[in-house]
């Protein structure tokens, strides 16, 4: 039998519970939930709750499921220790450049799952040829998703680039940061629109990525996880799918 990865989860909110639950249920061959870190919520898992430093030391890989502002502290524990990270709050990688700077001096790897987006396989392929010439994202959510119950008509609440979007909506537009990182373009070059729509029943993300030899368009109409309505079913599953790729004998896409 090959190596068993000890995996930690930082943050046991909506996303962290989906990820830790998948690990604890044994659905990921070759991986086990080793420890968690959480400041407020209860720990329903049968593993120790520890601080970020102890988590980094106890684990081969840590899944970040935190608010953006807490990600630099987790990275400061994991990267010097050489502990790999899965970062779902990709906006933090744009907002806190010190994370990617520290990463350059570390042997740890950072994995950014596709989250609530589709089409990242094709974008990655174009980016590997340095061929991406333009990238655009439009995200639409119900107004409550932005804490804007006052909005009664479909309204564009942001138009700008991926860095501006991450600053304005760090909890909502990780997709803009993920698209940026996959495309290889600087965040200032990725165009982003954010819409609040009272008629929307879920979160919709549409991308258009242009290159000299292909144009990629992809649209996801995301629904909440039936077991955990606070997180989108696709985003939670994307973390578990990213973990599965790390030990899978056959990797597609």
Ligand X SMILES: NC(=O)c1ccc[n+]([C@@H]2O[C@H](COP(=O)([O-])OP(=O)(O)OC[C@H]3O[C@@H](n4cnc5c(N)ncnc54)[C@H](O)[C@@H]3O)[C@@H](O)[C@H]2O)c1
Contacts to ligand X by CB under 6 A = 10-16, 37-41, 65-68, 70, 88-90, 115-116, 171, 174-175, 178, 230-232, 235
Phi, psi dihedrals of residue 153, rounded to the nearest 5°: -120, 155
The residue (of 118 and 132) whose beta carbon lies closer to ligand X is 118
Closest separation in Å from C-beta 91 to ligand X: 7
- Annotation marks residue 205 as catalytic: yes
Six token digits for residue 1: 């039998």
> Which of 25, 20, 15, 67 lies closest to 43 in space, CA to CA?
20
Closest separation in Å from C-beta 189 to ligand X: 20
What number of other Cβ atoms are within 10 A of residue 185's Cβ?
A: 19
Closest separation in Å from C-beta 127 to ligand X: 18
Catalytic residue among 10, 114, 169, 205: 205
Closest separation in Å from C-beta 110 to ligand X: 13
- Residue 216 makes CB contacts below 8 A (sequence gap 6+) with 119, 122, 123, 126, 207, 208, 209
Give the SS3 label for residue 19: helix
The residue (of 84 and 211) whose beta carbon lies closer to ligand X is 84
The residue (of 59 and 211) whose beta carbon lies closer to ligand X is 59
Bridge-partner residues for 233, per DSSP?
Answer: none
The residue (of 10 and 62) whose beta carbon lies closer to ligand X is 10
Give the SS3 label for residue 218: strand
The residue (of 74 and 127) whose beta carbon lies closer to ligand X is 74
Burial of 8 (0-12, 13-18, 19+ CB in 10 A): buried
| Distance in angstroms (rounded) separating the CA atoms of residues 15 and 23 | 13
Cβ-proximal residue to ligand X, closest one: 13
| Distance in angstroms (rounded) separating the CA atoms of residues 188 and 139 | 17
Closest separation in Å from C-beta 149 to ligand X: 19
From residue 145, alpha-carbon distances to 62, 135, 229, 230, 236 in Å are: 27, 24, 12, 10, 17
Q: Which residues are catalytic?
A: 205
């Amino acid at each position: 039998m090959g190596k068993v990865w000890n995996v930690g989860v930082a943050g046991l909110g909506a996303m962290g519970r989906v990820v830790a639950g998948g690990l604890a249920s044994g659905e990921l061959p070759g991986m086990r939930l080793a420890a968690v870190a959480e400041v407020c919520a209860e720990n329903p898992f049968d593993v120790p709750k520890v601080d970020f430093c102890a988590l980094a030391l106890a684990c081969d890989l840590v899944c970040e499921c935190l608010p953006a502002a807490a990600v630099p502290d987790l990275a400061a524990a994991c990267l010097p220790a050489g502990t790999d990270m899965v970062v779902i709050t990709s906006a933090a990688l744009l907002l806190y450049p010190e994370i990617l700077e520290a990463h350059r001096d570390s042997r740890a790897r950072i994995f950014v799952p596709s989250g609530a987006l589709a089409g990242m396989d094709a974008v990655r392929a174009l980016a590997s040829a340095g061929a991406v010439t333009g990238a655009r994202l439009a995200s639409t959510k119900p107004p409550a998703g932005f804490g804007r119950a006052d909005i009664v008509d479909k309204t564009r609440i942001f138009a700008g680039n991926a860095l501006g979007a991450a600053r304005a909506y760090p909890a909502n537009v990780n997709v803009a940061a993920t698209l940026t990182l996959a495309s290889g373009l600087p965040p200032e070059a990725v165009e982003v629109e954010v819409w609040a729509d009272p008629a929307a029943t879920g979160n919709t993300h549409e991308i258009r990525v242009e290159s000299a030899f292909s144009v990629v368009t992809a649209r996801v109409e995301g629904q909440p996880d039936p077991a955990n309505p606070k997180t989108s079913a696709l985003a939670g599953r994307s973390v578990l799918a990213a973990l599965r790729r790390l030990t899978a004998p056959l990797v597609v896409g």
